[in-house]
Structure formats: C-alpha cells, structure tokens
Structure 1
Amino acid sequence: MALPSDPRLVRMIVRHYLRYDRDNPFIFISAVLAFLGITAGVMVLMIAMGIMNGTQKEFEKKLFVMNYPLTVISFGKGVRQTTMEKIRRELPGVKISPFYTTQVIAKYGDAIEGGLLYGVDFAKEAAINPVFAKALDANRSYGRYSLIAGDDLAMTLGAGIGDRITLYFSQQQAVGFGSIPLQKRFPLEGTFNSGLKAYDKAILYTSLEAFHKVLKKTPDRYDGLHLYTQKPMEMIKKVKALLPDDADVEGWWQQNGNFFAAMQMEKKALFLVLLLIILVASLNIVSSLLMTVMSRRKEIALLRTLGATRREIRQIFFRLGLFVGSAGIVAGALLGFLGIWILTRFDIIKLPADVYGTSHLPVDLLPGDFAMIIIGTALIVLLSSLYPARKAASTDPLSVLRNE
C-alpha cells in the first residue's frame, strides 16, 4: 500500500531547489534558459499563427467580394430566365444578379490590355457587390454601352472617365470578302478598386443590353447567375435542388479551394516547425532537472532515510519541471498578446498593397489556435518532467550513502 505524500514537505523542497545555488550555478542558468526558450516559443507561435489567420481572413474577404457567395453556371446553352425566377420565388432571401461574360482585348490609344468583360444589370449587381456599387454614381443614369473598369486597367490604358475604350471580341464580323474581330467602342463611366490588382487589372462591366446588341445574346438565357446569401454553405444544397440538369452551383470556397487548402497546409507546417522551438527548450528542462538530481543525490538519499517516499521525491522534481514550464507558458502568452496588440495598434510592418490587398499587417489569433498552442506546450512540458522525476525517485539511498 502506497504511503500518502506530505504536500508541505514537497512544497518546501521545491522552493529550496528553485533558489540560486552558488555551488552549481549552471543548473540555475539551464533552468532560466529553459524558461526563456518556452517563453519565446509560445510568443512566436501566437504571433505567427495570428498573422497566418489574419492573412487568410484578409484574402477571404477580398476574394469573397469579387467571387460572390454562390455562382450558378451552365453546361448547356445558358441559365434560363425561368430558372432565375424559380430561385427567386423559392428562396426569397437570396439576391440574384444575372450575367454574361466573355474575354476581350481593350485598346485605348496605343495601349492594349486583355480583360474579362461582364454584362450585368447595374442595379442588381450593385445590390450584391459593394465594390461595383461604390464605382457607380447614384445621381446619374447609365446607358446601354456604359463601361465600368478596374482602376488599374484604366491606368494601364491611360484612359479617364468619359474616354471611349475599344473592345475587341473573339467573334468575327464580315468585312468585304474577309472578316475581322468584332469590335465596339464603350465610354468609360466609372472605375472600381477591389484591393486585389489581379481583379482591378482584368475585369470590366457593361450592361446586359450591350451583350444582346453586340454579341446577339438571347435575353431569356444567361451565362450564369451571381447569388448573394449570408449563409452560402447552407443555401448551396437548396439552390442545387432547384437547378436543371444542365446547370450547377459553386460556392466561393470551392472556386478557390486549392488556394485555401495550400494556406491551411502552410499554417499546419508552420505550427509544427515553431513547436520545435518549444521542444528544444524542453530539453533544457530535462537537462536542468537531471543535473539537479545528480547534484542532489546525497540530499535525496538523506530524505529517503528520513522517511520521504518515492512518490514525494517524484513529485518534487516533477513539480520543478512544471513550475519552469508553466512560468514559461504564462510569460510567453502575455508577451504574445502584447506583441499582437502592438502589431494591430501600430503600423510597424508595412505590406505592398498591390500584392497582399492591404498595407496593414493583419493579425487575428483564433481561440482554437491559442488553445492548441497552450495544450501542445503543456504536453511537452509534462513529458519533459516525467523522466527526471522517475530518475530521482529511483535513487537508492543505501548505495549513495555507502559510496558518497
């Protein structure tokens, strides 16, 4: 039957061993290095995971704006007007913007740039796309051939508001005995800025009527539908049930699945790599405890002969490791939150907005990630304290006192 341990004895010995020992200063220094290593590891992990999450959320926000929550696409001759009316009738909370799309070459003066032209209903598109809505002037009306372009595209072409940009289409038109690409001049009546250069340099908007007139599109069929709902992951199944066999629906997360999967994999890899910092620091805990055990062999043997149990000896050294590790975790968490607060409060690090979509470093530490950091570090500290504690408890007092 195991004898009960005396908690007062354990606490007293632990406090004694935590003090600086002039005869063995390296033991204390090793413990301090372990504390600093765990502190640095937890702090760096928190800041790194916060930056990863913040960057991912910033990209999600930008991609969400220009990719729409849900998009209905057709595998046949287009999405029928009756399908759009059915979705509007069955799902009244969903906002719908029908669209046409085609690739074009934009030309103004001597400048030429490729782009993707969308034909939309300006009012319906503005209701679901705040970037597009911001580019419109509420005090004016827009004509059939009005053109809204990304500000980077307009800047590359050197065109300003009111200038006429020539768009070349892939379709051909007959001229004499031959044919040339279909072309049409569109007045530039607005520009938008989504925050992502890839979109601002490639996307243009015009009216549905322009596609009807220039490309002879059928008014009762569309290339697709942009849908807005606050719960796209729940609504996608309901929309899919209302579609015919020649149409399907995609969520914005599916259209960019590879991108976000790569970011998630990078986040996990970063977590594991940075966790190695804590693992290295935990080796200092092991070495410092083992050196303490070796230097205190006489004291351990004396305690055993005075009645201290193996369990009490094991608890003493186990608590020593826990104290160093726990102190490092608490200090690292406090410094981590301080670092995140400084990065979010002050613009210490500037980012190129044309690459990242924002000039401010986004930092957002999720509660789940913080809990994972604390739990992972705590497990490493626990495991690091077990072996030295067992080594100390296995000390044979007779052989120690006989030989030393």
Structure 2
Amino acid sequence: MNFLFAWRYFKSKKSTNAINIISWISVIAIAVGAAALIMVLSVFNGFQSLVKSMYGDFYPDLRVMARTGKYMTLDSGQIAKLHQIHEIKDLSLVIGEKALLTNGEYQSIAVLKGVDSNYDHVVHLSRHIEQNGHYGLGVERAPLLVLGGGIASSIGADANSTVPLVVYLPNRNSSLRTDLQSAMNSYEIKEVGIFRIQEGFDNKYAFTNLNFLRYMVELPKDYYTEVAIAIKAETDLYSVKKKIQRQLGNKYVVETRFEQNQSLFTVMQMEKWIIYIILSIILIIAAFNMVGALTMLVLEKRKDIAILKALGASKKVIQRIFLTEGFLLAGLGGLMGMFIAFIVCLLQQKFHLLKLEGGSFVVDYYPVKMHVLDFLLVGLTVFLVALLAAWVPARKAATKHFSLKS
C-alpha cells in the first residue's frame, strides 16, 4: 500500500509544476551521482588490476626470506619438502647482491639477481623483453645478463652489442684494509635482453645465472637470499603461506605478493576509498533537492494526509508513505545511474573512448573493470542517502496536524 501511494504521488500532476520539476531534478542528481561513483570505482579497479598484473610478472606469488640477516640456508631436503606441497606450481632459488655495471666510461649501480632456470616460470619476466633481445641466463662459466631498461639507457647497453659489459661485485673475503681493486671481483658479461615493466624495476634490477653469482660473491652452497614461489590457479594464497611457514619454521618469513608491496596496495586502496567518500558527500549534497521536493509534496498532500488520519491511518503509516516516496525517487535515480554507468563502462572496455594523455603509460586509455560489489555498495549508499533525505519530511507529515480546511 505504501508503494501504491508513493507511486501515485510521484506520477500525478501537482497543483504547482515546480514540485514535478524539483522531483525530476532530484532523480537526475541521484542518477548522476550514482553513475559517477560506479564509473570512478570501475576505473580504479581497472588501474589496480593493471598494476597487479604488471607486478605479478615481477614479484612471485610467495617469497621466502630469512627472518634476520640477508642470507638464509636451505638444504636439498627442505627444498624437496617445499616441492611436496601440492599447491605449489613451481619455485626458484635466488641470490641477490648489489653490483656495479660498466660499459666503457658509463656505469650504474644495480641489484643483480642470480636466478635458476625455473625463475621465468615463476614471474614471467620474458614477457617484457624488448624485441631486439631475448631472455637468457647462461651457465656458470658463460653467464648472460638481462637488465632493466633504465639501467641499459644509463650505460648505453644494447642486446645486439658484441662488446660485453663488466660487472663488479663485492669480495666477501676481503678485509677493511684491502684496496678498492682487491675488494671487488669483476667479470665480463654479455647482455642479451632488456626488460621494461615499470620504472622502479627498470632502473634497479638485472638478472643472471644463479651459480655464476654464487661463484662471484664466494657464497657457500645452500645459501640464498630468497625463494620465489608460484602457486597453482584457484589456490588460496594465505593458506599456502601458512603451510610453507609451518614447514620451514620461524627462522624464515613468508610474504605474499601483496605483502611484498604493502605500501603500494595500501595507498591504492586508500585512494579508492577517499574518492568514494568524496563522491558520496557530493551525492548527499545532491539529495538536498529531494528534501525540498518531499517537503513541498507534504504541503501539497496535506488534505490527503488529513483524510488518511481521519480514516484511522497511524502516524507510522503516514511516515512510511513519504519514506517510500523518498526511496522511490532515490531508487529510480540510482537505477538510472547504474544503468548509464554500466553502458559507459562497457563502451570504454570495448572501444577505449577515453584516452590517457601523454602516451607514456602501459596503456593509452583508461582501464575499466566493473565489480558486482561496487554496484551493491553504491546501491546501499543511495539507500542511506534516501533514508536521510526522506526522514525529516516524512516525520513532519506524520506528526504535524493538517485539516481539510487548510
């Protein structure tokens, strides 16, 4: 019954045309606010998905490191036990060390990672190698180098060059009194590939053969800086993390991909929620039109209210009628806004209508990804805004005395 009264009041012609106009303005305002919320949240989802995919090709699903110190020891038995965890798809052993790369008079500091042959199955670095090179690590006595695009640019490296680079690594057995030349081990190494993923990676990392780097830094057998692990699809990341932690013990720390980039993903989530709050406030401001429309409607229908009360309608019934009217206005606007946002997002996904300026990003258009939870969140937001906007006029209609002579 409440909906029938509300629907009749919404579509019926009013004595003052301004009430109809304000009602439709409030519907349009809610629609614009809801559409803006959905579209902005979808764009944030698109950027998050894009960044996660980029980082997923560099950071492993799980990473095992020493809880204290730089190096950890893992013997063949411990590695075999890790392979026995059926959720683990593949794993790679890694040694990382800061190195100096030189090309004639040009030089650059890099984090040089020595990795085994499984590494590309864990993080898929080869997907980002430039066309004039390839992914290759070589062997201990004939190592090859894959380096980031930023490092390559700073030292003038070229994957097709016949002139090798020189890598300098610290000599762990040298004393403090040793001269600089004796404190470093050097080796000529051929660059075969240049990767470009993200500026922070491209300017920092280079990759080579695991056994070569172990030999260069004179690291004992079974010493590593990390273990990179890929898990099978449709597997819960945190449950596998707990299994590995139990298997290895408290001397090791296991991190998920998100924990390896905690600050980045935290900032991205905060940005999304801040934008949601700002747009929700704009939606609340837009709802003031609805307050005005409902207040004028109460004054317009004061005789109807008096008749309903004379027929025995309680204050709660009157209040529910005008609350339903508010939900009707907001619901109509919310559904219109969600439909518009859905169509716009589909068009953006298919035709890339809105372009990114500059052309220096990974994609040249705004990435969009719609989530059902975002639609539910916006629907709940519209419901709460409607409740706040309709409460005062509905309360006034229920408590104020109206007579048929007024």
Residue 137 of structure 1, CA deviation: 5.1
* Higher mean C-alpha deviation, range 219-228 or range 81-90: 81-90
Q: Secondary structure at the match of 1:66?
A: coil
- Aligned partners of 1:100, 1:139: CA distance in 2, in Å? 17
| Distance change in 2, residues 1:18/1:314 (3 Å) | farther
Native 8 Å contact 2:318 2:394 kept in 1: yes
Secondary structure at the residue paired with 1:178? coil
User: 2:75 is matched with which residue: 52, 73, 81?
Assistant: 81
Give 1:309's aligned residue: 313
CA deviation profile, 1:241-283 (whole Å, cap 9, x unmatched): 2225543322222111222122222222221221112212222
CA contact (8 A) 2:136 2:193 kept: no
The equivalent of 2:195 in structure 1 is 192
Counterpart of 1:4 in structure 2 is none
State TM-score, norm by structure 1: 0.85
2:242 is matched with 237
Alpha-carbon deviation of 1:395? 4.1
**Partner in structure 2 of residue 36 of structure 1:** 28
CA contact (8 A) 1:99 1:226 kept: yes
**Which sits farther off after the overlay, 25-34 or 37-46?**
25-34
Work out the CA distance in 2 between the residues paired with 1:15 and 1:209: 80
What do the CA deviations read for 1:220-254 (whole angstroms, capped 9, x no partner)?
A: 32222111113332211111122255433222221
Change (3 A) 1:207 1:367: same
Q: Does the 8 A contact of 1:43 with 1:332 survive in 2?
A: yes
Q: Structure 1 or 2: larger helix share?
A: 1
**Is 1:183 paired with 2:186?**
yes
Q: Which residue of 1 aligns with 2:325?
A: 320
The alignment partner of 2:208 has SS state of strand
Q: Which residue of 2 aligns with 1:211?
A: 213
In structure 1, the residue matched to 2:269 is 264
Q: How does 1:83-102 map to 2 (within 5 A)?
A: 84-91=78-85, 94=88, 95-102=90-97
Which residue number corresponds to residue 37 of structure 2?
A: 45
State the partner residue of 1:349: 355
Give 1 or 2 for the bigger CA radius of gyration.
Answer: 1
1:117 is displaced (CA, Å) by: 0.3
C-alpha displacement at 1:376, in angstroms? 1.8
Residue type at the aligned position of 2:344: G
State the shift of 1:335 in Å: 0.6
Deviation at 1:32, TM superposition (A): 1.6
Q: Provide the identity percentage.
A: 20
Structure 1: segments with no counterpart, 5+ residues? 1-6
The one-letter code of the counterpart of 1:167 is V
Q: Which is further off, 356-365 or 229-238? A: 356-365
Q: What secondary structure sits across from 1:362 in the alignment?
A: coil
- TM norm structure 2: 0.84
For 1:129, the equivalent position in structure 2 comes to: 123
Q: How does 1:278-297 map to 2 (within 5 A)?
A: 278-297=283-302
Whether 2:106 is the aligned partner of 1:105: answer: no
Aligned to 1:11: 4
Alignment coverage as a number of residue pairs: 388
Mapping for residues 372-391 of structure 1, pairs under 5 Å: 372-391=377-396
What is the DSSP-based 3-state SS (H/G/I as helix, E as strand, rest coil) of the residue aligned with 2:344? helix
1:61 pairs with 2:53: yes
